[in-house]
Each structure stands twice: as structure tokens, then as C-alpha cells.
Chains A and B, each alone.
Chain A
Amino acid sequence: MAIELYRIDDRLIHGQVIVGWGQPMGLGFLILVDDEVARSEWEQELYRMGVPPDLDVVFASVADAAAKLDEWNRDRRPGILLTTDIDTMTRLIDAKSSIRAVNLGGIHHRAGRVERLRYLYLTADELRALRALERRGVEVTARDVPASRPVSLSTLMDGKGEEGAA
């Protein structure tokens, strides 16, 4: 089964991931890739506290994730890999070009970002970074939960994202 979803989500582990995606796919393991969280036992404990006991959670830096990605992809259980931002996912893809699809699950409002979907706000630089990923052959789609329709990057750039959402 391996890692079935490479997701960018600034909430990292939360309800949509554990329940929205996790329940229908029978999630077996979760990889949280974040250099800061990987250095902090407190942060790791925080994220582990609410996770169901039968779900394995692994915390990794970008470098560690790149080194272990092939091993995780040999796991027979379905998994999700999470990063909190586009930059972290891009750095992981720089190191492991085998990642061919990225899910935009939640990037919320902050100064300088423009709304593309109700759960997706992007700066011009972030949009450029996503386009660069697509030029490298990585499929980029926005989809917060499995019940919603995936929205392509080109649709987001056309400003028609909400029309594409379920």
C-alpha cells in the first residue's frame, strides 16, 4: 500500500487527516515531516496525544524522511505523509524525485495570501513554487477531504477553484 497521500496541511495532524482521510483508507501509519517538530519531544508528544493507539506516527526531518522514504513505501499498510508548508514538501521532493503527486489539504489565511479555496490561501511566491513542482512532473491538486472533488493547480490559477469544489 505504501504512502498514498503526500499532503501539505498547516494543521498537520487533525480531524480531516485522522478521520476524513484516515478512516476510509484504513490508515496504518502517518509520517510528519517537519524539521522543528523532529527536534522537539514536546511537539511530538502533543501530536501523539490525540492519535488513536493503533495508528503509528513517525516524526522526521526532511533529511531523515528522504533517507527513509523508500522503506516507508515498502510498508504494506496505507500511509499519509504530511508537511506544514510548500517549502518543506519541495525540499523533500528535491531529495526524492519519486514523489509524483502532492495534495494541498489546508493552507490558511495570513497576510499576503489570496483566497483560492475556502481552505487554501496562497501568496504569489507559493503559487510559483507549486507551478515549478508541476513543471517537474509532480501532479498538484487541492482537496481537503475525500468527499470533495480534487481541484487542479491550473483551475486554482484561473481563480475558478470554488467552482471545482464539491
Chain B
Amino acid sequence: MSDPVSIVLAHGELAAGLVSAVEQITGMGSRFVAMSNSGLSGAELEVRLRALVDQTAARVVFTDLPAGSCNIAAFRLLRDRDVIVVSGVNLPTLLHFVTHPNLSPEEAAAESVERGAPTLKVTLGTARGH
């Protein structure tokens, strides 16, 4: 594939774990590059993310926590790079994104959020009170 990859930027080993899960489920994990914020200052995180975006020509950056340093670093790139930031990433979001390569990055990002967000839900067991 010659399309640019997308970046998953998250705390600890989360990004690598998510990409690993995408690979296991779809065999398309190579469509993402995982990056961690571990051990990095906010400034250094921005420098490394910027370099990775330039190196990969990524259009979409997925981040985990809206108030987190990953998300803030990605937001900083919105000023001078043609990127789209998707905050609060989960596995269903990445799966929808990677399996719809026919969509534009903007469409794929928006549609993936529409599909991924409602997958977070609570299910109560029927054995309560027994």
C-alpha cells in the first residue's frame, strides 16, 4: 500500500497495544504507527510527533485522553500541518477507520468516531440479587 499511515499517540503502551489488536483482527496494523508519550516533556513530545508526521506524511493522528499531553501535542500541529486529530480513540474506532480505505481521511475519521463512540456501553448481568 502506498497510502500514508496514520499515527496512534497515547499514554504508556496503549498505542502499541491498540495497533497490535488491529493487526490481530484485520492484518492491517501496519497502516498505523504507534507512539508513546512516556518519558517525554510536552515540548519534546511535540517535536517528535511533528517529525513523525513529516516522515510518514500521516493525515490523521489518533490520541487517547482529551486533556492529556498526547492530545495537546497533536492539537499543536493543527496550526501548521494538514492533519486531523481524533481524540479519545478506542479499538472499534481504529478498526472502522482502517477497514474503509476508500474514504477520504476526513470522511474516515468522522465516520469512525460515529461508529466507535457508541460501542462504549454498560451491560448489567441478569444474576443481580441472586
Determine whether B76 belongs to the interface, using a CB cutoff of 8 Å to chain A.
yes
Report the 10 A-B pairs with minimum CB-CB distance, sorted nearest first: A108-B41, A50-B67, A50-B66, A14-B69, A15-B68, A18-B67, A11-B42, A10-B41, A11-B69, A15-B65
Interface of A is mostly: loop
Residue of B at shortest CB range from A49?
Answer: B75
Which A residues form the contact surface with B (CB < 8 A)?
Answer: 10-15, 17-19, 42, 46-47, 49-52, 84, 106-110, 118-119
Complex Cα–Cα for A85 and B28 (A): 42
Chain A residue numbers with a CB within 8 Å of B87 are 50
Chain A residues positioned under 8 Å from B67 (CB to CB)? 13-15, 17-19, 50-52
Contacts of B45 in A (CB 8 A): 11
> Could you tell me the distance between the alpha carbons of A52 and B87 in the complex, rounded to whole angstroms?
13
Question: Is B110 an interface residue when CB atoms closer than 8 A count as contact?
Answer: no
Is B40 part of the contact surface with A, judged by Cβ < 8 Å? yes
Which chain A positions have C-beta within 8 A of B27?
Answer: none
B71 interface hit (Cβ, 8 Å): yes
